[in-house]
Amino acid sequence: MRLDVVSLTPEAFAPLQGLGVIGRAFAAGRAELHVHNPRDFATDRYRKVDDEPYGGGAGMVLKPEPVFAAFESIPVQPRRRTLLMSPQGQPLAQVDLRRWAADYDQLVFLCGHYEGFDERIRSLADEEVSIGDFVLTGGELPAMTIINGVVRLLPGTVGTQACLEEESHSALLLEHPHYTRPADFRGMGVPDVLRSGDHGAIARWRAEQQEERTRERRPDLYARWQEKQQN
């Protein structure tokens, strides 16, 4: 998969290249990352990428010309999707990461900065995405979050497919608890069922734990799961 990022701080993405399984996925060629700085496409002597907002107001607004030029310089793959990082976007969900990983060969990320971006930049995007109801200084952290979430879903990145299928949010339920050795640690033990060798009982316990955890911690997800079970 080809990943292209339009960002004023390209150096922010360098750590991804060495980040555990994500870094190994880049090294193995499962994904490739390209960062494009709009400042390199500014046409004035000061390489200006922002300006005062029409109508007045605080802060500076990202200009459309250098962003469009950076975007239009990116090679186009047949199955491409452009994502605009914005607190006004749709909340990110695991189903989105799975869809992007499965349906597209190229993802382009547009990262805003300063007070905001010229409204016309929105016309470049297929989707607007938010990672939460809060505001950051730019779209770089949201873009890195999505890159991490998508690349780990690419075939060969994570050891087994079962790891991806059983984790939280894959089927609306949160993941069940995990334990490893020692069997007793500071008076905290491992549930007997996990040491029983009865795979059927273990599967039932894990399913029950998923339901219980989701009901207690994320009643909104639990309600959606119940509705799905009834349909």
- Decide if 105 is inside a domain: yes
Confidence (pLDDT) at 163: 54
| Residue 166, C-beta contacts closer than 8 angstroms, at least 6 positions apart | 175, 176
Domain of 95: which CATH number? Answer: 3.40.1280.10
Same domain, 198 and 129: no
In a domain, 63, yes or no: yes
CA distance 224 to 15: 36
167-187 pLDDT, tens digit each? 555 578 998 999 999 999 999
**Which is higher by pLDDT, 113 or 40?**
40
pLDDT tier at 231 (50, 70, 90 boundaries)?
confident
Is residue 156 included in any domain, yes or no? no
Mean pLDDT estimate for the chain: 93
Per-residue pLDDT tens digits for 53-90 = 999 988 899 999 999 999 999 999 999 999 999 999 99
**Phi-psi group of 135: left, alpha or beta (phi > 0 → left; psi -120 to 50 → alpha; rest → beta):** beta
Q: What whole-number distance in Å separates Cα of residue 115 and Cα of residue 101?
A: 31
Domain of residue 199 covers 168-230
Burial of 56 (0-12, 13-18, 19+ CB in 10 A): exposed
Based on the fold, state whether residues 51 and 124 are members of the same structural domain: yes
Quick one: 146 and 188 in the same domain?
no
Q: What is the CATH number of the domain that holds 188?
A: 1.10.1270.20
Q: Does 159 reside within a domain?
A: no
Q: Are residues 127 and 193 in the same domain?
A: no
pLDDT average, residue stretch 137-151: 97
pLDDT band at 164 (very low <50, low <70, confident <90, very high): low
Shared-domain flag, residues 81 and 50: yes
Q: Are residues 33 and 104 in the same domain?
A: yes
In this structure, which amino acid lies at residue 94? Q
Q: What is the mean pLDDT of residues 192-221?
A: 95
% of the chain with per-residue pLDDT over 70: 95
The percentage of the chain sitting over the pLDDT mark of 90, rounded to a whole number, equals: 85
pLDDT for res 113 = 85
Residue 82 belongs to a domain: yes
The helix or strand, by DSSP H or E, that contains position 143, with its residue range, turns out to be helix 140-151
Q: Which residue has tokens 């399984």? A: 21
3-state secondary structure of 229: helix
Integer CA distances (angstroms), 109 to 71, 104, 142, in order: 9, 13, 10
In a domain, residue 157? The reply is no
Residues 11 and 64 in one domain: yes
In a domain, 76, yes or no: yes
Q: Which of 92, 125, 151 is the C-terminal boundary of a domain?
A: 151
Are residue 133 and residue 49 in the same domain, yes or no?
Answer: yes
> How many domains does one find in the chain?
2
Clarify whether residues 146 and 178 are in a common domain. Answer: no
